[in-house]
Amino acid sequence: AYDIMGYVDQSGMFSAVHAALANGGCIGIFPEGGSHDRTDLLPLKAGVAAIALGTQEKYDVKVPIVPIGLTYFRGHRFRGRLVVEFGEPIYITQEISEQYGESKKLAYQALLTQVEKGMRSVIVTAHDYGDLKLVHTVRRLYQRSATSMSTKDKQDLARRFSEGYKLLKERYKDTGFPGDVKSVLTKIKDYQDALDQWGLRDYQLQHTHLQLSYSKMLYIFLHGLVILSLASIPSLILNFPVGVAANYWAYREAKKDLKASRVKLAARDVLLSKKIIFSLAAVPILWISYAVLALLFSSLEARTILVLFLCCPFFSYVGVMAMERSFVDLKDLRPAFLRLLPAFKKVAERLPAKRASLQAELRAMVDKYGPSFGPLYTDKTDAWEAAHNDHQNNNSNINHLAATANEPTSQEQIASVIATNFCEGGDEEEEEDSVTEEATLQRKKDE
């Protein structure tokens, strides 16, 4: 049985949106039409195109469409990270405007194609979580240092590797990867598997955690444990009960959403939203309960209880921040503690050297195959995607011309296609946890 939605008159909504945009307003819209936890875009809905073209038709105003990329790291948990990137504005071309007068459907499709390209320029996409995990591992190995690049540069490098890997798979889809590429990819996967096996992070191999003396390790551990204990007191009292209840309720609700969805993989995209909704109601109730209990069963004066109650938000925030930093520091000590295990001693000696060797092999492979991808490799500016798209269009036209011609394509024909297209074109830690968790979920779902 399927639910059937009756006709909904949205003319009033569109009129209001058109007027707001014509008056210089800004509208935020998610063109995929819903949230999901996949590694690639869903087919875009026509709403964004209908709004932009409708505003131009009604008010003669060309509305710029600015693609915004949202990249979450551990986005299903409290205190996760989010990277927001803004792409180049997309304007309605004269060709699409003329097409709109003849066929709105075709105009919508043409504009949505541009919007999709713009969105892909500000996010990292992959076929599945296995490929996404590989892309981020390659990016971390390729960069010189974990702290030498900004978050924006890391995202840009990840997009380049993601696009390059897709092109490489397409190029060798019939014959398979060359021996050197296959060898490097196998070594990279083995390296990441070794990290996963011991619960290590790539950046930890670049620091001195594996060389800490036992005395210094013990001091850092005890110091962190004391700080964590002190910080946990307000968090355990003010946050922990709600956190446990919110986590349970969110996962229960996510299962319902997963069952009702055709696009979600594990419904992780709704977890944090559910937790926040629950906490917005539960946290004040918990604090009020504490205040009532203190008023009924303690000898404290009412004004003292009121002051403590008003201080709850501050104490709660300080506790969260202190515990977060303590957990990060303690987690960084994991490699040092693993040295106590006999089986890990040999691994601790091999992994840094293995990483250095693998980094050299990866860079050599990139230098070998990179130039064949054109601007994807050679253009060091933020505008590489536009040049890369032009380069791909040129190659597609040349291949099409060679495939459809009755006789072998001449050098003059190829030069003509290139010239025509040229003229038409014009002038570390949290992401590892997040991608690893998503890849594990993908494998479980596939099984």
pLDDT of residue 446: 52
DSSP 36: -
Give tens-digit pLDDT for 95-118: 999 999 899 999 999 999 999 988
Q: Check pLDDT > 70 for residue 426.
A: no
Higher pLDDT, 408 or 382: 382
On whether the pTM is more than 0.75, the answer is no
DSSP 343: H
Type and span of the H or E element at 326: helix 302-332
Strands of 51-206, DSSP E: 68-73, 81-86
Give tens-digit pLDDT for 324-369: 776 666 666 666 667 667 777 777 778 888 888 999 999 999 999 9
Which residues lie closer than 8 Å to 200 by C-beta, 6 or more apart?
Answer: 194, 334, 335, 338, 351
Q: Check pLDDT > 90 for residue 400.
A: no
Which of these, 67, 188, 194, lies nearest to 131 by C-alpha position? 188
| Start-to-end C-alpha separation, the chain | 28
Q: Which two tokens stand for residue 123?
A: 């996010």
Which of these, 228, 240, 198, 196, lies nearest to 78 by C-alpha position? 240
pLDDT of residue 330: 66
Average pLDDT over residues 56-75: 85
79: left (phi over 0), alpha (psi -120 to 50) or beta: left
pLDDT of residue 185: 93
Q: Check pLDDT > 70 for residue 3.
A: no
What gap in Å lies between CA 367 and CA 402, rounded to an integer? 29
The DSSP result for 69-91, as a single string, is: EEEEESTTSTT-EEEEEE---B-
Residues 53, 58, 60, 64, CA torsion sign: negative
Which residues lie closer than 8 Å to 287 by C-beta, 6 or more apart?
Answer: 238, 309, 312
Give tens-digit pLDDT for 235-272: 778 888 888 898 899 889 888 888 887 777 777 778 88
The CA distances from residue 410 to 53, 101, 406, 417, 421, in Å, are 42, 39, 12, 11, 17
Type and span of the H or E element at 222: helix 214-238
Cβ atoms of residues 125 and 421 within 8 Å: no
For the chain, what is the largest distance between any 2 Cα atoms, rounded to a whole number of angstroms? 99
* Cα radius of gyration rounded to whole Å, the chain: 27
Cβ atoms of residues 40 and 125 within 8 Å: yes
The DSSP result for 183-196, as a single string, is: HHHHHHHHHHHHHH
Q: Is 341 helix (H, G, I), strand (E, B) or coil?
A: coil
Give tens-digit pLDDT for 133-178: 888 899 989 987 766 677 778 888 888 998 899 899 989 988 999 9
Q: Which two tokens stand for residue 427?
A: 């002038």
Half-sphere exposure of 309 (CA within 13 A, CB side): 19
Half-sphere exposure of 153 (CA within 13 A, CB side): 12
Give tens-digit pLDDT for 269-312: 788 888 889 998 999 999 999 999 999 998 889 999 999 899 98
Cβ atoms of residues 18 and 110 within 8 Å: no
Phi–psi pair at 90, nearest 5 degrees: -110, 125
Instruction: Give the bridge partners for 83, in sequence order.
Output: 71
Phi–psi pair at 70, nearest 5 degrees: -115, 115
